[in-house]
Amino acid sequence: MVTIEASTVLKRRSDVRFRIVDDEAVVLRQSVAEVLVINEIGARILELADGCNPVSAWVDALLAGYEVERDTLLADVLSFAGELTEQGLLEPVGIETPTAAAIAP
């Protein structure tokens, strides 16, 4: 299990494709032919998970859209980022999981 902290840099896994639909996101995991629906904050996190900025920077970006204390938002985002990582949608930069296409025959 990966521990997500404010300084962790996450990126979308290479097999993840997503489409924003209204306030939600339809997420397609190419390697397992799985399609998921995630809510508004999950959709924003997927957009922000560019592999460059740490989770703390996401919180700064999200604060403008939500009337909530920074610490509360950080806790929520860390929790959500952990869930998306557990579901195989995000991965920490530098700890890349091989996708189906990258596995040797």
Which residues bind to another protein, rule: CB under 8 A? 17, 19, 21-22, 24-26, 28, 30-31, 33, 35-37, 100-101
> What is the rounded distance in angstroms from the CA atom of residue 76 to the CA atom of residue 41?
10
12 C-beta neighbours (distance < 10 Å), count: 20
Our CB check for another protein shows the closer of 22 and 71 to be 22
Taking Cα atoms as reference points, which of 80, 66, 93, 68 lies closest to residue 25?
A: 80
The distance of closest approach from Cβ of residue 67 to another protein in the complex, given in angstroms and rounded to an integer, is 24
Our CB check for another protein shows the closer of 32 and 75 to be 32
Our CB check for another protein shows the closer of 1 and 33 to be 33
The distance of closest approach from Cβ of residue 33 to another protein in the complex, given in angstroms and rounded to an integer, is 5
DSSP state at residue 8: -
Residue with tokens 């938002």: 73
Our CB check for another protein shows the closer of 40 and 63 to be 40
Answer whether 28's CB lies under 8 Å from 88's CB: no
The distance of closest approach from Cβ of residue 76 to another protein in the complex, given in angstroms and rounded to an integer, is 20
> What is the rounded distance in angstroms from the CA atom of residue 8 to the CA atom of residue 52?
10
